[in-house]
A and B are shown apart, each in its own frame.
Chain A
């Protein structure tokens, strides 16, 4: 067993932007206290919104981090990918009709429900660790009674599954006689 662990270099991929330095430092404290790997950095010029201090995060953890910052009422402006050419989060969904079932796809995540009952029969896609957990929690529940991935999940995969749930709810309510 080594006495000293080599400190890992941190490669986050995401930036949390703030209006002032104080907010950035407060957010760092909150996130480090919750075991998130974060680093205070200067944002690139094209992402400067106010102060010159931002917080580098693992972009995949964006939903869990945003939820925690909101819970702690930490002021932040936005979360952005670091790479300047990166697109924004995908907003579009695709819908596939399987007869008695509908499948809604948001980015890499898919949610399928029975048209008549609104029961979630499957979720598929993704690769982050909250996805199999959400799969187990959501299957067998009605769309409007299922837990929200944005509440239980922590990753971008969960955020995309939440988008698929939103669209599924809209489709089901639009198609139901309620």
Chain B
């Protein structure tokens, strides 16, 4: 199964594990209704659109309410560390949380007890914690945006708010340099999908591909449009695509969905997510040779 783990911006949602169902612009998880907005909910929704299209049913989520205090995040990571060997997901995708280096270290230790090591994906603060704790190389995929790439390249920073000014000022064309620095300091996962005006797909320091078409700059202001990419990558990897292929297709699909939705900075992420089935139907067979007969 794919297990997506992250916080939801709710003061009331208890630690919840189960299957998620798309219901209009919401998710249903064990009778909890969660709006599909920026963050883990957007990631899950995009992953669900992908798995539903591919006719895969094995997507489960581990969620908890946390509005920033971190209690939910700690509960979630502790539960995951104690239960990961039993759950044994094939793909483990870690997302929004209060970054905690010690808990991330504990989780990485617990993962080693799984009968088969899960394919490890991290985005958002789960990626921040992994990098800050020096655990980036325990992960198979990170999906940073351009600023987060500068954070990975900054040897000392433990959060993107503390990256060196010269790295923040760096033009997006300097991404290859930042990528090389991050790998040099062992602060990158095996595969990076760097989301930006041009998306870079990098494996062990080697840039395998770039994606820059269609060019939809209005995706950047829309909260959740990076989360959707990570959700699709998780699903495509689980479906059996090579990680770099999964990354390339997710980057293309996100851009194409933005174009279809005629995105403006005022567009909501749900309006992008709604486009994915049409994007897959039109393009997936050609992009990936994954051709679904309906």
Which residue numbers of A lie inside 8 Å of B, CB to CB? 8-11, 13, 35, 58-61, 64, 81, 83-90, 92, 96, 98, 100-101, 103, 105, 107-108, 110, 112, 114, 121-133, 135-136, 152-160
- Asked if B126 CB lies within 8 Å of chain A CBs, one says yes
Name the residue of chain A whose CB is nearest to the CB of B127.
A127
CB contacts (< 8 Å) of B66 on chain A: these are 129
Give the number of residue pairs across the A-B interface with Cβ within 8 Å.
198
Chain B min CB distance to A150 (Å): 12
| Interface CB pairs A-B, < 8 A, 19 | A8-B103, A11-B100, A13-B101, A13-B158, A59-B158, A59-B162, A81-B158, A85-B155, A87-B156, A87-B162, A96-B220, A107-B160, A122-B267, A127-B97, A128-B97, A129-B73, A132-B223, A135-B9, A160-B160
Asked if A136 and B103 sit within 8 Å, CB to CB, the answer is no
A160 to B157, CA, bound (A): 15
CB contacts (< 8 Å) of B156 on chain A: these are 81, 83-87
Chain B min CB distance to A101 (Å): 4
Asked if B161 and A98 sit within 8 Å, CB to CB, the answer is no
- Pick the interface stretch among B33-41, B174-182, B202-210, B251-259: B33-41
CB contacts (< 8 Å) of A135 on chain B: these are 9, 37-39, 223
- Asked if B68 CB lies within 8 Å of chain A CBs, one says yes
A98 to B218, CA, bound (A): 8
Considering the complex, which residues of chain B in the window 50-64 have a beta carbon less than 8 Å from any beta carbon of chain A?
A: none
- Asked if B86 CB lies within 8 Å of chain A CBs, one says no
CB contacts (< 8 Å) of A11 on chain B: these are 100-102, 105, 133
Asked if B163 and A87 sit within 8 Å, CB to CB, the answer is yes
CB contacts (< 8 Å) of A88 on chain B: these are 162
The residue from A86, A89, A98 contacting B221, defined by CB atoms under 8 A apart? A98
Name the residue of chain B whose CB is nearest to the CB of A86.
B156
Chain A min CB distance to B160 (Å): 4
A121 to B217, CA, bound (A): 16
How many B residues touch A, CB cutoff 8 Å? 67
The residue from B132, B158, B161, B267 contacting A157, defined by CB atoms under 8 A apart? B161
Which residue numbers of B lie inside 8 Å of A, CB to CB? 7-9, 35, 37-41, 66-73, 95-103, 105-106, 123-128, 132-133, 145, 147-148, 151, 154-165, 168-169, 217-218, 220-226, 264-267
A93 to B161, CA, bound (A): 11
CB contacts (< 8 Å) of B41 on chain A: these are 132
Asked if B9 and A132 sit within 8 Å, CB to CB, the answer is yes
A135 to B223, CA, bound (A): 8
Asked if B67 and A129 sit within 8 Å, CB to CB, the answer is yes
The residue from A84, A107, A122, A154 contacting B223, defined by CB atoms under 8 A apart? A122
CB contacts (< 8 Å) of A132 on chain B: these are 7-9, 37-41, 96, 223
Asked if A128 and B125 sit within 8 Å, CB to CB, the answer is yes
CB contacts (< 8 Å) of B99 on chain A: these are 58, 60, 127-128
Chain A min CB distance to B42 (Å): 9
Asked if A87 and B157 sit within 8 Å, CB to CB, the answer is yes
Which one of A123, A126, A135 has the highest number of Cβ atoms from chain B below 10 Å of its Cβ? A126
The 4 closest A-B pairs by CB, nearest first: A130-B68, A127-B124, A132-B39, A133-B9
A154 to B9, CA, bound (A): 13
Chain A min CB distance to B8 (Å): 7
